[in-house]
Structure 1
Amino acid sequence: MPAAPTTPKGRRTRDQLVTAGRAVFARDGYVNARMGDVATEAGISMGGLYRYFENKEDLFAQVIEDLHEQLFEASASREHNFRDDPYQSLLASNHGYLEIYSENRDLMRAFIQAAHVEKRFQDIWWHMRNRHVERFVGALSRSHGITEIDGVKVQLHVESMACMAEQSAYIWFAQDDLHDGAVSLDDAARSITHCWYTTFFPPRAG
């Protein structure tokens, strides 16, 4: 695998290629994307491209790694304290996640496609979702002492909610042309947050 660039010019060129890769993968999907199209998009020779990325898989892995960091950071609510106001914290977290997902809907569709045809991207997808799950499991335990619900470990409940959020985002945004009408970010965030909140903070009797 090519070594990471050490000069400012090299880092700028690599960033330029990643940006071009994002555009090509979003436009053509993972399977149909070609390195030649990335080179053209970036205005760089094929030889120049291969000095930074060994193949299409390596380039896409970098693109997805960058996107994952965006999603992870956007879904961390810093405006609301999860211990004191879990609903608003969840709402802000879900809205942040959905906003980045929506902005990168074509790229996320390409990522799901890649995860179905390449084990490398299946593993990346699995790591991404587990990172989100583990963060929330830890937050529930630290802030609210919640480790199980109805006799089931909270990890399983969080995984089910993560699946719901991920699949909802995919249907509403990555496959929006199949959905009956556009779904607003605010409505999407409120809908998902209601499910999360009532699962972990159900109304108390009396």
Structure 2
Amino acid sequence: MTTRGHAPDGEDIPSLADTSALREPPATARGARTRAALVAAARVVFERDGYLDSRLTDITAEAACSTGTFYTYFAGKEEIFQAVLEVAQDDMLHPGMPRLDPEDSSPVDVIEASNRAYFEAYKRNAKLMLILDQVAAGDPGFREVRRRRSRAFADRNARAIKDLQDRGLADRTLDPLMAARALSGMVSRMAYYAYALGEDHPLDELVETSTTLWANALKLDRNAR
């Protein structure tokens, strides 16, 4: 069992970033450093000013480089935004969930670890998550990418729930996909209110509440292995 924030290695989760238009990485170490500085600066500006109000001159000022240097690496704001997503999405997709010993871990232990990793990753990327909503509101193509990613995560969690049902550990009357969508969506909205909107909820409280709701909804025994 995993939740939205962690995907097993090799799982086919659609990329959040459209890298098809990005240029080849710089051939020199200096070029790579300059490009990385621009991407880091762009994230600072996007998160500070919002995507719509961000200007290339603000990005170049933050990176302490010229507009001409910017155009050496990127065609415009849309392209560097995709580069920001390319860097950030690995943290959002693989937030560092600890390895658990299957023999000593119950399904609830795994859900708890997954939830904690998701909340921690969301907190690190909360400002960027707000930007994603802003971009999606005006870009149908980006909305479709997010929809496909959401479906991929839901399908993955549905398979995990179905496995628990087949093993007699979870409520077999639940539709796995609908349960996955409801429970994963709950965790996502809890993270949104806590970190994107800035409500003051301790991490441990978020983890404990979300994990208890997962376990209760699926009728899981906390001690079952």
Shorter chain as normaliser: what TM range? 0.7 to 0.9
Q: Distance in 2 between matches of 1:35 and 1:6?
A: 20
Task: State the secondary structure of the residue aligned to 2:52.
Answer: helix
Q: Which runs of 5 or more structure 1 residues have no equivalent in the other structure?
A: none
Residue 60 of structure 2 aligns to which amino acid in structure 1? A
**Residue number in structure 2 paired with 1:192:** 210
**Residue number in structure 2 paired with 1:183:** 201
Deviation at 1:38, TM superposition (A): 1.0
Name the stretch that deviates more: 120-129 or 151-160: 120-129
**Residue number in structure 1 paired with 2:87:** 66
Q: Deviations over 1:64-86 (max 9, x none)?
A: 23322212211645235399411
Q: Counterparts in 2 of 1:44-123, with a 5 A limit?
A: 44-74=65-95, 76-81=97-102, 84-123=105-144
**Residue number in structure 2 paired with 1:37:** 58
Q: Deviations over 1:6-46 (max 9, x none)?
A: 41333222221111111111111112111221111111221
Residue 158 of structure 1 aligns to which amino acid in structure 2? A
Q: Distance in 2 between matches of 1:89 and 1:140?
A: 12
Residue 200 of structure 1 aligns to which amino acid in structure 2? L
Q: Distance in 2 between matches of 1:82 and 1:63?
A: 39
TM-score, scaled to structure 1: 0.82
Q: Give yes or no for the alignment of 1:5 onto 2:25.
A: yes
Q: Distance in 1 between matches of 2:155 and 2:111?
A: 15
TM-score, scaled to structure 2: 0.76
Residue 207 of structure 2 aligns to which amino acid in structure 1? A
CA contact (8 A) 1:133 1:158 kept: yes
Deviation at 1:145, TM superposition (A): 3.0
CA contact (8 A) 2:22 2:79 kept: no
Question: Kindly tell me: are residues 157 and 192 of structure 1, through their superposed partners in 2, closer, same or farther at Cα, counting changes over 3 Å?
Answer: same
Alignment RMSD, CA only? 2.8
Identity %: 27
Question: Kindly tell me: are residues 161 and 121 of structure 1, through their superposed partners in 2, closer, same or farther at Cα, counting changes over 3 Å?
Answer: same
- Which has the bigger relative contact order, CA under 8 A and spacing at least 6? 2
CA contact (8 A) 2:183 2:214 kept: yes
Between structures 1 and 2, the one with greater helix share:
1
Q: Distance in 1 between matches of 2:194 and 2:176?
A: 27
Match for 1:20 among 41, 63, 66? 41
Residue 155 of structure 1 aligns to which amino acid in structure 2? L
Q: Which runs of 5 or more structure 2 residues have no equivalent in the other structure?
A: 1-20
